[in-house]
Structure 1
């Protein structure tokens, strides 16, 4: 049991060390990246909505 606690403590110390090495983005970069992600998600959502509308219209035309 004591060995498990020791290993867990070492794990969290290693995590803290690694997080200090991370190259975190600046606020400006983060804002830009977030904008790109939101724009991409909106574009893909609109694209699939149009494709879905087209396919459903085609199926309705064929079936009825």
Structure 2
């Protein structure tokens, strides 16, 4: 059996044309749109507020359920 419809291997660029792994990383990092200081500050405050709020809600829920279990189910 011969492979008459087999495609030849794709041409690879020369090794000198590729900057390498770290060169690719640097090239990609140059394409990134970095946030401004003001955006970082706003997003950090938002994360802290959300984390505190979720922690508070879960704490209140845990306390309430513990109270119900202790006073009504284990009595």
TM-score by length of 2: 0.72
Gaps of 5+ in 1: 1-5
Count of matched residue positions in the alignment of Structure 1 and Structure 2: 57
Structure 2 CA distance for aligned equivalents of residues 37 and 11 of structure 1: 33
Deviation of the 1:25 alpha carbon: 0.2
Q: Gapped runs of 5+ residues in structure 2? A: 1-14
Does residue 1:56 correspond to 2:66, yes or no?
A: yes
Runs ≥4 in structure 1, deviation > 6 angstroms?
none
Higher helix share: 1
Bigger-Rg structure (1/2): 2
Q: CA RMSD in A?
A: 1.4
| Distance in 1, Cα, partners of 2:28 & 2:65 | 49
